[in-house]
Amino acid sequence: MTIAAPAVPTPRIREPNWFLDFCRQQPLGAVSFVIICCMMFAGIFSRLVAPYDPLDIDFASILGAPSWEHPCGTDAYGRDICSRLIFGSRTALVIGFTSSFIGSTLGAVLGVASAYFGGRIDNWIQRFMDILLAFPLIVLALVVVAALRKFVIGGVDVNLIFAIAIPILPRVARVVRAAALSVRVMPYVDAARAAGYSDTRIIFRHMAPNVVAPYLIMLTAFIAQAILAEASLSFLGLGVTEPTAAWGLMLSGNAADFYREAPWMILFPGAAISLAVFAFNLFGDSLRDYLDPRFRM
């Protein structure tokens, strides 16, 4: 009688933790991710984190220097700058992420459609992209926000969001189109066409998944550009208006008048804008290096 040997359990192969792998390969990207998370936490829980209401006026503390009571000082109206910085992170993230998402998504859709259909459709789309690319991002945003009528929902200027999203659109469309062109000539795309699949199925099942990586990289990178554009437009008086807390708005008006007596009115908002742009740019570069196998060691 033959006795069967006991079955040896097959060892389970643990899937690598992508987050820990990202932190190990891109330490600077991990640092920037922590900064972004701190900004998001401050923006979401601003009413709990901020020591004061950003709209409270204290005439006894006008142009107050940084102290234990007001860590970042006060402005010309006696408002706490630290609280306005915390609430300003919400404004920057909402406008920055929404603008980048709308512009990147529309650009990705046009880029994939342009690469897949080719011919006259590709030619018309690319010529329209060339027209938009002829203008610098901030100049085109200025034109759009000045041309549109002000439309506000929930304290957020919708026209400002679209004014920043439109200049982002052609830049993402070009990158995504280049990635989609290399996918269009793949054998499995030709096989899907030969099998009689619809264009919509081929685009969403075969082409779109292969352009997710450049789309995510551009989405992350352009959040920084959108935050900078929002601050610039608010500084020029075409963006967020008083009394909303916004970093660019904090640099204009009274801050320019009292920069000698109260330099903290410019120092802290400028540092917040620089840190946010630096964090998103660094995270976008790190994400590109991590997702692109050509950059891996």
Per-residue pLDDT at 7 = 47
Q: How many domains does the chain have?
A: 1
Residue 27, pLDDT > 80, answer yes
Token digits of residue 10 = 């097959």
Residue 155, pLDDT > 80, answer no
Q: Is residue 91 part of a domain?
A: yes
Q: Is residue 62 part of a domain?
A: no
226-263: pLDDT as tens digits: 998 888 888 887 777 777 788 888 887 677 677 777 88
**Domain CATH number, residue 212:** 1.10.3720.10
Q: Is residue 184 part of a domain?
A: yes
Q: Is residue 11 part of a domain?
A: no
Residue 72, pLDDT > 70, answer yes
DSSP 3-state of 157: strand
Token digits of residue 226 = 């959108």
Tell whether omega for the bond before 243 is within 30 degrees of 0, i.e. cis: yes
> What is the domain range of residue 253?
24-46+71-292
Q: How confident is the model at residue 124 (pLDDT cuts 50, 70, 90)?
A: very high
Q: Is residue 191 part of a domain?
A: yes
Residue whose tokens read 């002829």: 134
pTM: 0.82
Q: Is residue 250 part of a domain?
A: yes
Residue 295, pLDDT > 60, answer no
96-100, 223-227, 255-259: least confident range: 255-259
Q: Is residue 52 part of a domain?
A: no
Q: Is residue 51 part of a domain?
A: no
Of 286, 162, 138, which Cα lies nearest the Cα of 217? 286
Residue whose tokens read 């081929």: 202
Token digits of residue 132 = 């938009």
DSSP 3-state of 275: helix
Per-residue pLDDT at 245 = 83
175-202: pLDDT as tens digits: 888 888 888 778 877 788 788 777 788 8
Amino acid making up residue 131: I
Percent pLDDT > 70 in the chain is 89
